[in-house]
Amino acid sequence: MVRITPKSKVIVLTGAGISAESGIGTFRAANGLWENHNVQDIASPEGFKRNPCLVWQFYKKRWLQSQEAMPNPAHFALVKLEQYLGDGFRLITQNVDGLHSRAGSSRVWEIHGSLNRCYCTNCGVSAAMQDIDLTQDIPLCPKCGSSLRPDIVWFGEIPYFLFEIEGAIKQCDYFIIVGTSGVVYPAAGFVLTASLMGAKTIALNLDEPDNIGFIDTFYQGKSGEILPALIEEWIKP
């Protein structure tokens, strides 16, 4: 029985599935984002070095798509859970579409970066996608003129916020995963760590996630359809 009180410490980890009902493609479904591309060509530092134009084409398209997408009821349900818990709530997202922040979530760790940002491969200066000249095949740094790259954590690179996440996982009462296949580490391993530290683990996914073995309670379905009612149920006094 899931019972979340205002004193509970809850971490939620989301993946591409939570944005599916906002019209943004997931990665590993049929006709998923990776289907038409060799991941190493468009989501690795080596691929960017080989063909930065191709990588920029892919991410410009994804950024424009994310700008047109709207948060769905699952994103807003997590805002409600955050309002109920305050500092006892943390949201880890593998998504780079920015929909959690646009829905109103504020305690968000975007561990794989964000389509909304890019940074200079030379001087490291960061820039917002909306502020740079995207007509250039390879957008250039406003400060030093070198090529910019999307602020996305690619395969072989270290995700952001791992130190903060390790600390938060040690103290959480509930670790909830929503809309992720559970195949990409280290994110897929967070739920095991949480379970070993004594947290209750919950998953909500269209299909059984790969790391189902670490899950205490599994809800199968579309997050936009079932997460709002589940959160109402969980926080009921």
- Residues recognised as catalytic: 112
Q: Residues 163-182 vs ligand APR: string with x where CB under 6 A?
A: ----------------xxx-
Q: Residues 112-151 vs Zn ion: string with x where CB under 5 A?
A: --------x-xx-x---------------x-xx-x-----
Q: Residues 107-136 vs ligand APR: string with x where CB under 6 A?
A: -----x------------------------
Task: Choose the stretch contacting ligand APR; rule: CB under 6 A; options: 102-110, 129-137, 169-177, 204-212.
Answer: 204-212
Residue with Cβ nearer ligand APR (9 or 222): 222
112 binds, among Zn ion, ligand APR, none (CB under 5 to 8 A by kind): ligand APR
Distance CA 158, CA 34 (A): 20
Handedness of CA 125, 62, 114, 102 (dihedral sign): positive
Which residue ranges make up the site for Zn ion (CB under 5 A)?
Answer: 120, 122-123, 125, 141, 143-144, 146
Which residue ranges make up the site for ligand APR (CB under 6 A)?
Answer: 15-17, 20-21, 26-29, 32, 94, 112, 179-181, 183-184, 205-207, 209, 222-224
